[in-house]
Structure 1
Amino acid sequence: MKHLFLIFLMNLLHQYAGKSLRRDGSSLKSFEDIKNEIAGYTDIAKAIIDLAVHGKAQNRSYERLAVFADTIGPRLSGSKNLEAAIKYMFSALQKDGLENVHLEPVKVPHWERGEEFAVMLEPRNHSIAILGLGNSIATPPEGIIAEVIVVASFDELRARAQEAKGKIVVYNEPFISYGETVQYRLQGAVEAAKVGAVASLIRSIASFSIHSPHTGGQSYQPDVPQIPTACITVEDAEMMSRMSLRGTKIVVHLRMGAKTYPDSLSFNTVAEIVGSKYPEQVVLVSGHLDSWDVGQGAMDDGGGSFISWEALSLIKDLGLRPKRTLRLVLWTGEEQGGVGAKQYYQLHKENISNFDIVMESDEGTFQPSGLGFSGSAEARDIVKEIMTLLQPINVTDVYDPADGTDIAYWMRDGVPGASLYNDISKYFWFHHSQGDTMTVQDPNQMNLCAAVWTVVSYVIADMEDMLPRV
């Protein structure tokens, strides 16, 4: 019997050579099978690229974004502009002939900066360009007049804690990377309040400046007094640092009229191309529709939102219908910490096994070089193979990991995630500033980004099997 069993086992192994076995005994595709399946999309990928980069859809995502940005402007959470933007997109997606266009309600924070200014009174009169940070409290109506203490780090602030009491803390922290340096914007007010400061002014989190303040979110702590906080330009932070190092007394008059209102009703905006074979399974492409209240929000994140819309438009224009549902989500309240995405996740997580991949573009739509990816090693190998289809435009690299506030909830639960990887060397020149306008955008680069986004999302949505998970 032992020999008969060995013969049977050898025949079985020969039958499934190069394949894996599922627990139910059915065969899994070998990677060679998967490569051949992906290679079968070469002509479709070329058609998508040709339409997006050279054909009738050339520059469409840019032109759509320009009309939107010029018409609506910046779109802060809770604002009339964001409300108008959502109505605009709801109508535009319907006119584009997409399916299941709908709005999903979300409660979002509502903060307004009001009038604000800062003036150096000593050692000379000088107007300081500022932008209040999100959720900051106001100063008293007459403002705050106080001496300044300039520090380069939290460690220096703590070491000089006795000097900081009753003063305005100015942070002149060097820009290392956004991820590392942004802690000063997020926590600067709290750390200054802990040592008795009356306000904090943070050097803008920017890699380059032409006297441009950059706003963004910040967080108070329940057990720490709240003080007004704003960002200032790199130039003014460095000037006050030089003055301070020379022993010069600096006095600033700061006035901010910020107000926080009760949460407002907003919406995540959703549209689909319904899958032909597995409509309950979802490939999600996304960007966030809200922005800060400066510039036009064209780069952050108009570009990501509009190439995500373009992905569905290109697929529809080519008469394609993938096996899975391709779902566009334009998030709301991202700048306040992914508020809309969190509520979307809570609403849909019961169907998490049906989410094939979640994709978000939120780091610019400049010259693309590849895809950021988070997922299992097996899924990564498949995505790498899919990226070979983009060889005609030389965008084939896969980086680790994917990044995106709005898709983080899904990725933490094991859903594969992807983000657009592009040249961000100038991204933080304009980020959260008055410089974030259509002038930053390049139509040719947006065409390439749209082609990448469309090829990847379509092929994953149309392959016979979902991406394997960890």
Structure 2
Amino acid sequence: MKTMMKRYTHHLPKALLAALLLSAQVGQAQTPNNAQTQAPKNPMVEAIVKEATENSQLERLAYELLDKIGPRLVGSPQMKQANDWAIEKYKGWGIMARNEKWGEWRGWERGTSQIEMVAPRVKSLEGMQLAWSPATKGKGVTAELITLPAEITDSVSFLQWLPNVKGKLVMISMYQPTGRPDYNWQEFATAASFDKMKAQRTAQTEAWRNKLAKTGYTTRTLPAVLEKAGAAGIVMSNWSAGFGVNKIFNAFTKKIPTVDIALEDYGMLYRMVEAGDKPKINIKVNAKELGVVPAFNTIAEIKGSEKPDEYVILSAHFDSWDGGSGATDNGTGTIVMMEAMRILKKLYPNPKRTILVGHWGSEEQGLNGSRAFVEDHPEIVKNIQAVFNQDNGTGRVVNISGQGFLHSYDYIGRWLSAVPASIRQPIETNFPGTPGGGGSDHASFVAAGAPAFSLSSLNWSYGTYTWHTNRDTYDKIVFDDVRSNAILTAILAYMASEDPAKTSRERIVLPVNPRTGQPGTWPTQNKPTRKGGLD
């Protein structure tokens, strides 16, 4: 037992090492027959599981980040507050940390949103200002609502109608025929009723898309056209196909407010417009323009004792949209990496390779923080042992792809073998897989040829209920799953650091693209947007 433990214990603190050795000796003395047949246990892995289970800091980290600081829109004071908070947490754990400037962004701070129907009756409406939307002044904007005209034959007819928007609040989202998600229909509706609804929705969606196309504009370009034509504001509803949930992104207006209103209230207003009842609403939204502000990545590292210039990187984007508090996108990935670093510093303070964590900025606008890091630090990128990235929600990790690295099955398989079966067995692996071209920050490293892997999570209705929505909040976190992910990440980082072999970067030959008939190509290393939000 002592011989088998030697490889894994030379970096353990002395007190912990003594306790583990004593425990192992007692167990061996009590079960001599089993000791000959059972595979040896890894004391570091056992220590990681024990620390993560009995001394978890996840709930506290989540509270401080999500409830106290809140959403972390790039360019907002809350983003910088989060950067500084992380530095203090790491320093408190004895881990070197820094904020590293990668660019600049339009500075903007959200205020309160007050949206009320004032005619034909009075009602408070559920809705909020979109990111970077202009504020209103004084008593806000009160105006009648209108929708896009029923018939638009072409861009000329749209331009002829356009003067009608002057002084009006324009509704630019499709009226949804139902506010019930499909799973609710499947459970309770007759098959005929469900099919009828879906057919109606499909036809309505197609008609709306055709109407929008005939204007000559898109959902991104139309608001600016309406603004120029004198509209008082833009009203939309980006329903996310679930009860009470909307996607909350950014505005495309410079002088007039843009708000998103919940499906239930938006539908009511739309029906009133169609019935000729001329509803009016008042929009009062507060926000502060803060000029151009610096944007940062937060970097922390535990220096390697034997190969300090080789790197195991833990990766999670720090920024979020601000409809909710950015809990599952990507608060959970953030606290997984922070908790893994805390555990490793406590139990494994002298890793063979440097263990570095990157909390990236402006992932939501195009992987900007991680792309900048890759561009700015070629000396690190060329010496990466592995990158472990977690982004897609609160669920336990259930999938790891080899990202197109030919021998990834070998080293990922070896590292995973140390993970407890209860965590390892539900994970499906796909080797060698194909390189990720985007979607999250591991792609920035893959494009540069570094072995980087997404720790992909169980769904938990992520796409509908929390991805970029007004419901992405603390209460959606499943802490047992997040704890499992912190254990997995810490073990993978430990195993990757200890591995005597340097990981292979040999790539697969990508198959022919069936659409083009051309051989597949490795993703391009794209440049970050270093100055954004100003157009």
Provide TM-score, normalisation by structure 2: 0.65
Looking at structure 2, the residues matched to 384 and 204 of structure 1 have their Cα atoms a distance apart, in angstroms, of 42
Distance 1:188 1:321 in 2: 53
- Structure 1 residue ranges without an equivalent (≥5): 1-39, 177-182
Question: Cα offset for 1:364?
Answer: 1.9
1:169 and 2:168 are equivalent in the alignment: no
CA deviation map 1:12-54 (0-9, x unaligned): xxxxxxxxxxxxxxxxxxxxxxxxxxxx997367426632554
Gaps in structure 2 of 5+ consecutive residues: 1-38, 183-208, 213-217, 508-535
- Distance (whole Å) between structure 2 residues aligned to residue 398 and residue 465 of structure 1: 21
Letter in 2 for 1:465: K
Query: After the TM superposition, which residues 67-82 of structure 1 pair with which residues of structure 2 at under 5 Å, given as runs?
Result: 67-82=64-79
Alignment match, 1:65: 62
Cα distance, 1:61 vs structure 2: 2.3
Residues in 1 aligned to 2:398 and 2:352: alpha-carbon distance in whole angstroms: 27
Match of 1:17 in 2: none
Offset of 1:277 from its aligned partner? 3.3
Partner of 2:297: 268
Aligned with residue 468 of structure 1, among 505, 511, 515: 505
More deviation, 441-450/68-77? 68-77
Give the conservation status (yes or no) of the 8 Å contact 2:224–2:252.
no
Structure 2 residue matching 1:408: 3-state secondary structure: helix
Q: Which moved more, 1:299-308 or 1:166-175?
A: 166-175
Give the distance between the partners of 2:460 and 2:375, measured in 1 at CA.
35
Partner of 2:248: 215
Query: What is the deviation of 1:282?
Result: 1.7
Superposition pairs of residues 27-106 of structure 1, within 5 angstroms: 43=42, 46-47=45-46, 50-51=49-50, 54=53, 56-57=54-55, 59-98=56-95, 100-106=96-102
Q: Is the 8 A contact 1:216 1:292 kept in 2?
A: yes
Aligned residues: 413
Q: How does 1:24-423 map to 2 (within 5 A)?
A: 43=42, 46-47=45-46, 50-51=49-50, 54=53, 56-57=54-55, 59-98=56-95, 100-106=96-102, 107-138=104-135, 142-143=140-141, 145-149=143-147, 161=158, 166=165, 168-172=170-174, 188-194=219-225, 198=231, 199-210=233-244, 214-218=247-251, 228-243=257-272, 249-293=278-322, 295-319=324-348, 321-349=350-378, 351-371=380-400, 374-380=403-409, 382-384=411-413, 386-390=415-419, 391-393=421-423, 394-398=425-429, 404-423=439-458
**Distance in 1 (alpha carbons) for counterparts of 2:410 and 2:157:** 52
**Structure 1 partner of 2:532:** none
Q: Using the alignment, how far apart are the partners of 1:341 and 1:374 within structure 2? A: 17
Query: Shift of residue 453 of structure 1?
Result: 1.8
Query: Matches of 2:234 and 2:153 in 1, distance apart?
Result: 15
Name the CA shift for 1:131/1:278 in 2 (closer, same or farther; >3 Å): same
Alpha-carbon offset, residue 203 of structure 1: 1.9
Residues 360-383 of structure 1, C-alpha deviation per residue, up to 9 Å, x if partnerless?
322222233233552324325643
Per-residue CA distance 1:120-176 (angstroms, 9 max, x = gap): 345544333222222223456652624321699xx9997983556515033137799
Point out the more displaced range, 281-290 or 225-234: 225-234
- Distance in 1 between the 2:375 and 2:362 partners? 15
Assess, with a 3 A threshold, how the Cα gap between structure 1 residues 310 and 395 changes in structure 2: closer, same or farther. farther
Are residues 1:446 and 2:445 paired? Answer: no
Rounded Cα–Cα distance in structure 2 between residues aligned with 1:191 and 1:442: 39
Identify the range of structure 1 (348-357 vs 275-284) with the bigger mean alpha-carbon deviation: 348-357
Q: 1:342/1:250 Cα in 2 relative to 1: closer, same or farther (>3 Å)?
A: farther
Query: Any idea what the Cα deviations from partners look like across 1:37-82, whole Å, max 9, x if unmatched?
Result: xxx997367426632554x33x322333334444433444344433
Contact 1:365 1:441 in 2 (8 A): yes
Distance verdict in 2 for CA 1:356–1:75, change over 3 Å: same
Q: Which of 454, 461, 464 is the matching residue for 1:426? A: 461
Deviation at 1:450, TM superposition (A): 0.6
Provide the rounded CA distance (Å) in 2 between the counterparts of 1:118 and 1:157: 33
CA displacement, residues 335-386 of structure 1 (integer Å, 9 cap, x when unaligned): 4544433433332135432233333322222233233552324325643554
Is 1:375–1:415's contact at 8 Å kept on the other side of the alignment?
A: no
Q: State the distance in 1 between where 2:473 and 2:490 align.
A: 24
Helix, strand or coil for the counterpart of 2:80? Answer: helix
- The AA in structure 2 aligned to 1:43 is N
Contact 2:312–2:387 (CA<8 Å) still a contact in 1?
A: yes
Amino acid of the structure 1 residue aligned with 2:141: G
Q: Is the 8 A contact 2:52 2:343 kept in 1?
A: no
Contact kept in structure 1, 2:391 and 2:456, CA below 8 Å: no
> Following the alignment from structure 2 to structure 1, what is the Cα–Cα distance between the partners of residues 100 and 447?
23
Helix, strand or coil for the counterpart of 1:327? strand
Q: Is the 8 A contact 1:130 1:233 kept in 2?
A: yes
Question: Is the 2:328–2:473 contact (alpha carbons within 8 Å) kept by the matching residues of 1?
Answer: yes
SS in 1 for 2:240: coil
Q: 1:284 to 1:130 in 2, by over 3 A?
A: same
Output the CA distance in 1 between the equivalents of 2:406 and 2:154: 44
CA distance in 2, matches of 1:384, 1:227: 55
C-alpha distance in structure 1 between counterparts of 2:80 and 2:266, whole Å: 36
Secondary structure, counterpart of 2:455 in structure 1: strand
Structure 1 vs Structure 2 CA RMSD: 3.9
Q: Bigger shift: 360-369 or 334-343?
A: 334-343
> What is the distance in 1 between the residues matched to 2:149 and 2:488?
44
Look up the SS of the partner of 2:382 in the other structure.
Answer: helix
**CA drift at 1:96:** 0.9
Decide whether aligned partners of structure 1 residues 350 and 337 sit closer, same or farther in structure 2, where only a CA change above 3 A counts. same
**Letter matched to residue 353 of structure 1:** K
CA 1:85–1:270: 2 relative to 1, 3 Å: same
C-alpha contact (below 8 Å) 1:367/1:423 kept by paired residues: yes
The 1:42/1:417 distance shift into structure 2, 3 A limit, reads farther
Deviation at 1:251, TM superposition (A): 4.3
Q: TM-score, normalised by structure 1?
A: 0.73
Evaluate the alpha carbon distance shift between residue 245 and residue 349 of structure 1 in structure 2; reply closer, same or farther with a 3 A threshold: farther
